[in-house]
Chain A
Amino acid sequence: MTSFYLNGKSVSVDDDPSTPLLWVIRDSLGLTGTKFGCGMALCGACTVHLDGKAIRSCVAPLSRVARKHVTTIEGLSKDLSHPLQRAWIEIDVPQCGYCQSGQIMSAAVLLKENSKPSDKDIDEAMSGNICRCGTYPRIRRAIHRAAEMAAEKRSS
């Protein structure tokens, strides 16, 4: 058994400890917001947070997360209230939407570490996430917008 915290709740699974976290989350724990895109940490669709850092869950063995905190898109907020979710909705970022969980999880770490990212910061933080629909211009706008929203919230 491996135990860890998923979106704040303690969970235990009997998957082999070498199983990639992605498949544990999806198949054993039933949270499907985290996506499979490449299996080689090349596309970012499987991005989750491990103790607050963005990781690619498709190459992270279950053993790596034992007793640690994992956050998935389902744990970002309970009610679409995260500034990134609000900005994504305001700007209508997603097209097919498949990569967007990973995009948002990468962006969430960026915003946490950098409350006012520049375009260059966005390039660096987000270039590990592929969007085949080509929503990059809107992702960029939405990250800037979310930074504004977060700043407004802090000052209010």
Chain B
Amino acid sequence: MSRLEEHINAKPELSIADSANAAPAKTSRIARRDFLKTTATIGGGLWISGYVPELAARPHSSAPASAAAFAPNAFVRIAPDESVTVIANHSEMGQGIYTSLPMLLNEELEADWSKIKVEAAPVDSVYNHTLYGVQMTGGSSTTPSEWERFRKMGAMARIMLVDAAAQKWGVPASECRVEKGVVFHTASGKKATYGSLADAASQLKPPANVPLKDPKQFTLIGKSVRRLDTPSKVDGSAQFGLDVRLPGMVFALVARPPVLGGKVVSLDAAEALKIPGARAVEQIPSGVAVVADRFWSAKLAREKVKITWDDGENANLSTTQMIADFSRQSATPGNIAKKTGDPAGSLAGAAKTITAEYDVPYLAHAMMEPLNCVVDLRADSCEIWTGTQFETVDRANAARVAGLPPEKVKINTTLLGGGFGRRANPASDFVIEAVNVAKIARAPVKVIWTREDDLAGGWYRPMWHDRFAAGLDAQGNPVAWTHTIVGQSIMQGTAFEAFTIKDGVDSTSVEGAADLLYGIPNLQVDLHSPKIGVPVQWWRSVGHSHTGFSVESFFDEVAHAGGKDPYELRRKLLADQPRMLAVLQLVAEKAGWGKPLPAGRGRGIATHFSFDSYVAQVIEATVEKDGNVRVHRVVCAVDCGRAVNPDIVKAQMEGGIVFGLTAALKTEITLENGRVQQRNFHDYQMLRMFESPEIEVHIVPSEQNPTGVGEPSVPPVAPALTNAIFAATGKRIRRLPIRASDLAGGSEAKS
């Protein structure tokens, strides 16, 4: 157990908010840039080499292994029927890790790939994230963090299977070789399958030394192996949290306050309880739970519950007002996140200066599968089924609410119908609420959030305001760059504040800005973190989701102000960044940067470094006369180190681009009088098929260790698009989402 995990289990009240509506609090995530610093403190036993004997000493799996199954460690089980079960300690939410983790393991195990099955790990400290010290999925970190461990786990199993065969045959193990789950001794012609060796291998001690292949010998890593989960996702058999069914299970919805943070004053359940099938209507900490035999009965009953709410402190919140407040605040100095050279002096002495302000809204994650959680609460146990990204935290929170020790809480991680960060909730809001509902349901209960509940439920990507100034020399080169950021901290008040907030700066608020790759000699980035009663959390690409847009758009402004080609200026200022430079040049070449375009079409470029990966994109777009934007083509280049499964990398880039386009063109969560204005997909619109552009992805070949893939394609999308719009129309978009009203006249309006 890591010290971080001990902390969460021992003192949940320090690390966990009480309800979905409480002030944002508490997490166990550590900003990636800080992991090296923090793992030294919290990550006792995180060294892979230290793990091996520990794992071997306590084989563990989520299902009882049959007597003869071979479970050399917590991550793989080989049965006499030749099936190989890989136990995945990270959740599958679309990012493909139920395929890439088995690929890592089987690169060394060398079992027959067709025999591989995947099972979700139970909650156990043995499954803790190698960098973050708790069991979780996020930070685009699954493959990078398991790159070594999963290969070691596979190698350990193979070595023991080979030893078992060698002992059986009385030959040296060094004379044996393996292929597709069969051990061969060439000289004697003997062979044995892994399944037949499982029992004998179980009797052996694990090897002290587990050497790994030279990457030149890889046969699986680097191949576009088809996803293992696809068949189950095209015939309806894949089981998401919403699909869980238990004997005697009832259904519940919760009426939550119309103003985030509101409380129930009074409740009249009489009419609701008349709905056929309605069972119980009772107040719980997050609102009023309505329990019924079926979802539909619960929904009808919820509409009949009469509740008087106390709107609380957020009753007057208005995002319109917040935009004005943020802008005002951005004109004052914030806490310094980064300072090099003499930004103020060089701005004052610049041949030309330009300034700009940018705004982005609150955003909901809007996973296609709305939040849900199934709980079977008994006197001495609590079993949970849900699609979560945050097992350790959820278990500690559920245990506290259930009044049980964490070891009495079992979490079954299902497939996630999208996550994007929402299912790693620092307060475990959707989990503890379901435990509270289970207390009144007196039966196993499935709590379902409707789309309206999900969109209005808070925990958004924060609103951000960015104020820039740049100074150019007489040749038009930027010599000074200042950037003031205003927005809520997602880490403030959490258990990990100490690791992520230094000198008043939440590193996740300034990522992508304070670590600017461009060679600008005088640089300052500062931050204001206003406290606002809207719960906020990470959202696909976290802080990069706003800095990618603002930094790369303003960089474009700087290039134009200095009379420079935006691509050429980037090239020049990335001279000391060989990996980003290579990505930039690749995308420009593939996109045909500088080549003529059809009339009215503009081309924009952007780069962004996040989750240790380098991404550049070129977008071609047209603006119609009515101001509507048509995105024709997106070209993306990525350096994510070694691509474990190139087709999955491409899929993640494609998906991130569509996700980024939705944020650029469509979505915002607004509040008036403390009430979220958006209800469903009619006013929180997603990009649809007819708006989806042609997307090309180019992966830079690399022998570096794998880096993040799930998030890094999101940040450059919005700026590449707004830069394309500028190229097409001469209009600079400085707030998202892009509005047709800001672009009336279209591409033809360009003088």
B242 adjacent to A35 (CB under 8 Å): yes
A57 sits at the interface (CB 8 A): no
Identity of the chain A residue whose Cβ is nearest the Cβ of B692 in the assembled complex: A136
B237 sits at the interface (CB 8 A): yes
A80 adjacent to B368 (CB under 8 Å): no
8 Å CB interface, B80-96 against A: 92-96
Q: Which residue in A38, A73, A94 is a CB contact (below 8 Å) of B681?
A: A38
Q: Find chain A residues with CB under 8 A from B226 CB.
A: 89, 92
CA distance in complex: A124, B689 (Å): 8
Distance from B572 Cβ to chain A, minimum over Cβ atoms (Å): 33
8 Å CB interface, B216-234 against A: 226-227, 229-234
Distance from A143 Cβ to chain B, minimum over Cβ atoms (Å): 10
Q: Which residue in A23, A31, A89, A132 is a CB contact (below 8 Å) of B659?
A: A132
A31 adjacent to B236 (CB under 8 Å): yes
Q: Which residue in A94, A122, A127, A136 is a CB contact (below 8 Å) of B230?
A: A94
Q: Which residue in B251, B366, B657 is a CB contact (below 8 Å) of A27?
A: B251
Q: Contacts A35-B242, A123-B689, A133-B94; is A76 near B368 (CB within 8 Å)?
A: no
Identity of the chain B residue whose Cβ is nearest the Cβ of A16 in the assembled complex: B276
CA distance in complex: A60, B239 (Å): 24
Q: Contacts A42-B682, A92-B230, A97-B417; is A137 near B236 (CB within 8 Å)?
A: no
B227 adjacent to A42 (CB under 8 Å): no
Identity of the chain B residue whose Cβ is nearest the Cβ of A62 in the assembled complex: B296
Distance from B658 Cβ to chain A, minimum over Cβ atoms (Å): 3
Q: Find chain A residues with CB under 8 A from B124 CB.
A: none
SS of A interface (majority)? loop
Surface stretch bound by A, among B553-561, B647-655, B732-740: B647-655
Q: Find chain A residues with CB under 8 A from B416 CB.
A: 96
Q: Contacts A99-B368, A134-B659, A139-B689; is A32 near B651 (CB within 8 Å)?
A: no
A98 adjacent to B368 (CB under 8 Å): yes
Q: Find chain B residues with CB under 8 A from A132 CB.
A: 366-368, 418, 420, 659, 686
Q: Mark A115-126, 1 if CB is under 8 A from B, else 0.
A: 000000011101
B295 sits at the interface (CB 8 A): yes
A4 sits at the interface (CB 8 A): no
A45 adjacent to B237 (CB under 8 Å): no
B335 sits at the interface (CB 8 A): no
8 Å CB interface, A10-60 against B: 15-16, 19-20, 23, 26-28, 30-40, 42-43, 45
CA distance in complex: A37, B417 (Å): 10
Q: Mark A45-87, 1 if CB is under 8 A from B, else 0.
A: 1000000000000000000000000001110110010001100
B242 adjacent to A88 (CB under 8 Å): no
Q: Find chain A residues with CB under 8 A from B95 CB.
A: 95
* Number of CB contacts from chain A to chain B under 8 A: 186
CA distance in complex: A139, B94 (Å): 15
Identity of the chain B residue whose Cβ is nearest the Cβ of A130 in the assembled complex: B686
Q: Find chain A residues with CB under 8 A from B657 CB.
A: 134
Q: Find chain B residues with CB under 8 A from A95 CB.
A: 94-96, 651-652, 655
Q: Which residue in B233, B647, B686 is a CB contact (below 8 Å) of A97?
A: B233
CA distance in complex: A31, B237 (Å): 9
8 Å CB interface, B413-441 against A: 415-420
B658 adjacent to A134 (CB under 8 Å): yes
Determine which residue in A28, A42, A122, A137 has the highest number of CB atoms from chain B within 10 A of its CB, and name it: A137
Q: Which residue in B233, B240, B648, B680 is a CB contact (below 8 Å) of A40?
A: B680
Identity of the chain A residue whose Cβ is nearest the Cβ of B95 in the assembled complex: A95
CA distance in complex: A20, B448 (Å): 16
Q: Find chain A residues with CB under 8 A from B367 CB.
A: 96, 98, 132
Q: Contacts A16-B276, A132-B659; is A27 near B294 (CB within 8 Å)?
A: yes
B404 sits at the interface (CB 8 A): no
8 Å CB interface, A89-148 against B: 89, 92-101, 104, 122-124, 126-140
B257 sits at the interface (CB 8 A): no
CA distance in complex: A38, B455 (Å): 11
Distance from A40 Cβ to chain B, minimum over Cβ atoms (Å): 5
Distance from A24 Cβ to chain B, minimum over Cβ atoms (Å): 8
| Count of chain B residues near A, Cβ 8 A | 62
B655 adjacent to A135 (CB under 8 Å): yes
Identity of the chain B residue whose Cβ is nearest the Cβ of A84 in the assembled complex: B234
Q: Which residue in B92, B237, B654, B682 is a CB contact (below 8 Å) of A135?
A: B654
B242 adjacent to A36 (CB under 8 Å): yes
B296 adjacent to A23 (CB under 8 Å): yes
Determine which residue in B230, B240, B652 has the highest number of CB atoms from chain A within 10 A of its CB, and name it: B230
B450 adjacent to A80 (CB under 8 Å): no
Q: Mark B359-387, 1 if CB is under 8 A from A, else 0.
A: 00000001111100000000000000000
B331 sits at the interface (CB 8 A): no
Q: Find chain A residues with CB under 8 A from B418 CB.
A: 96, 98, 132-133
CA distance in complex: A16, B191 (Å): 63
Q: Contacts A96-B417, A130-B681; is A85 near B235 (CB within 8 Å)?
A: yes
Distance from A79 Cβ to chain B, minimum over Cβ atoms (Å): 9
Identity of the chain A residue whose Cβ is nearest the Cβ of B647 in the assembled complex: A92
Determine which residue in B240, B296, B366, B369 has the highest number of CB atoms from chain A within 10 A of its CB, and name it: B296
B245 sits at the interface (CB 8 A): yes
B236 adjacent to A33 (CB under 8 Å): yes
B54 sits at the interface (CB 8 A): no
B234 adjacent to A36 (CB under 8 Å): no
Q: Find chain A residues with CB under 8 A from B295 CB.
A: 23, 26-27
Q: Find chain B residues with CB under 8 A from A73 CB.
A: 234-236
A130 adjacent to B234 (CB under 8 Å): no
A127 adjacent to B451 (CB under 8 Å): no
CA distance in complex: A85, B286 (Å): 42
B243 sits at the interface (CB 8 A): yes
B133 sits at the interface (CB 8 A): no
Q: Find chain B residues with CB under 8 A from A93 CB.
A: 230, 234
B212 sits at the interface (CB 8 A): no
CA distance in complex: A130, B243 (Å): 20
A45 adjacent to B368 (CB under 8 Å): yes
A136 adjacent to B231 (CB under 8 Å): no
A122 adjacent to B236 (CB under 8 Å): no
Identity of the chain B residue whose Cβ is nearest the Cβ of A74 in the assembled complex: B236
A85 adjacent to B234 (CB under 8 Å): yes
Q: Find chain A residues with CB under 8 A from B450 CB.
A: 39
Q: Find chain B residues with CB under 8 A from A126 CB.
A: 689
Q: Find chain A residues with CB under 8 A from B366 CB.
A: 132
Q: Which residue in B234, B238, B681 is a CB contact (below 8 Å) of A80?
A: B234
Q: Find chain B residues with CB under 8 A from A139 CB.
A: 689
Distance from A105 Cβ to chain B, minimum over Cβ atoms (Å): 10
B687 sits at the interface (CB 8 A): yes
8 Å CB interface, B446-505 against A: 448, 450-451
Determine which residue in A19, A32, A77, A85 has the highest number of CB atoms from chain B within 10 A of its CB, and name it: A32
CA distance in complex: A20, B686 (Å): 24
B234 adjacent to A94 (CB under 8 Å): yes
CA distance in complex: A37, B96 (Å): 22
Q: Find chain B residues with CB under 8 A from A32 CB.
A: 236, 239, 242-243, 245
B271 sits at the interface (CB 8 A): no
B230 adjacent to A98 (CB under 8 Å): no
8 Å CB interface, B90-135 against A: 92-96
A97 adjacent to B659 (CB under 8 Å): no
Determine which residue in A31, A34, A74, A133 has the highest number of CB atoms from chain B within 10 A of its CB, and name it: A133
Q: Find chain A residues with CB under 8 A from B655 CB.
A: 95, 133-135
Q: Mark B631-667, 1 if CB is under 8 A from A, else 0.
A: 0000000000000000110011011111100000000
Identity of the chain A residue whose Cβ is nearest the Cβ of B226 in the assembled complex: A92
Interface pairs A-B: 9 shortest CB-CB: A33-B236, A134-B658, A98-B417, A97-B233, A95-B94, A96-B94, A136-B692, A134-B655, A73-B236
12 contacts between A and B (CB under 8 A): A27-B295, A34-B236, A35-B369, A38-B681, A73-B236, A77-B235, A88-B234, A92-B227, A95-B651, A96-B419, A129-B688, A133-B659
- B residues with CB within 8 A of A: 92-96, 226-227, 229-240, 242-243, 245, 251, 276, 294-296, 366-370, 415-420, 448, 450-451, 647-648, 651-652, 654-659, 680-682, 686-690, 692, 694-695
Task: Give 4 new A-B contacts, CB below 8 A, not counting A19-B294, A95-B651.
Answer: A20-B296, A35-B240, A97-B230, A98-B367
